[in-house]
Amino acid sequence: MNGLGGLNKSDQGVVLGMVQLQLPNVVTPADLKAQTQKIVAMVGKARRNLGTMDLVVFPEYALHGLSMDINPEIMCRVDGPEVAAFRQACIDNKIWGCFSIMELNPGGMPYNTGLIIDDQGEIRLNYRKLHPWVPVEPWEPGNFGIPVIEGPKGAKIALIICHDGMFPEMARECAYKGAEIMIRTAGYTAPIRASWRFTNQANAFQNLMVTANVCMCGSDGAFDSMGEGMIVNFDGTILAHGETGRADEIITAEVRPDLVREARRIWGVENNIYQLGHRGYVAVKGGAQDCPYTFMQDMVAGRYRLPWEDEVRVTDGTGCGFPAPTRLYGGGA
């Protein structure tokens, strides 16, 4: 199935490379420029590392590090020089790439943005993180939804970022929109290691979907990121795992979107993405197709409220040094 990490590539296979990038410390525009060149060099390493690789994936914060610095001088634009360098690297190395930037937002706080660029240098996917890791992260909530694109070999690909993957609804949305491979990039540190592992597997199994996941790696002198590149098959089986946490190692595996399609089509037992909308189809024709979930109905109606809502202690970022916001969502650019 895995072809020795992609060394023996099948006709239907897609080979993924998850870069456990060394965690940088980026403070100045000069630091940003140097880190851009480091990432460009790593795209070249990925191509030299494995000639069969289709898509190289860099973690969240690959360009900016974990400082949460919102200094406009080091924020990026999708049409800026950093992204232009990434686009050229994909062209030069004839490879697709997944990259992370902190995107300038003139109307509010920066966006945490992920991009997938094809081997012709075209931006094929532009995603803004829907669920910043509150209260630690200051990023504007994303407003692009979850795009799904056609990637190498026609594979349907979605991208989510870090904390997004702790919400099962995010992976379910990816699958519902047709994703066969869900990429999850992250900057997580060691305390999240166990949660990272079981959510990556659960997100795959519950949706019959490959999940490809990677964190930053190593230390910047303050934070220690864990690497933990994980490629998980649609049945929840781990195909590849960077358990050693070696910085700049590229974790690879071949995945088979055609087998994802087959499982979604022919599985009866545990075809959960189908069965969610067809409850009890053995007893009633077509299954029950209602929505018995109160939280879904309340969220759509704008009245989502927990029974313990008034007791929640942390509801803004003041404990992490950010001022309490006064602007309502939707007011940004």
What residues are labeled active site? 60, 129, 162
Instruction: List the end-to-end C-alpha distance of the chain, in Å, as a whole number.
Output: 45
Q: Which residues make Cβ contacts (< 8 Å) with residue 134, sequence separation at least 6?
A: 314, 317
- For the chain, how big is the Rg over CA atoms in Å? 20
Chain center to CA of 21: 15
Partner residues linked to 53 by β-bridges: none
Cβ atoms of 15 and 9 closer than 8 Å: yes
Rounded Cα distance between 27 and 34, Å, is: 11
- Rounded Cα distance between 56 and 241, Å, is 15
184 forms bridges with which residues in the sheet?
A: 160, 213
- The whole-angstrom separation of Cα 142 and Cα 288 is 33
CB 89 within 8 A of CB 97: yes
Q: Which of 208, 210, 206 is nearest to 184 (CA)?
A: 210
| Cβ-based neighbour number of residue 135 at 10 Å | 15
DSSP string for 131-153 = S--TTT--PPPP-S---EEE-GG
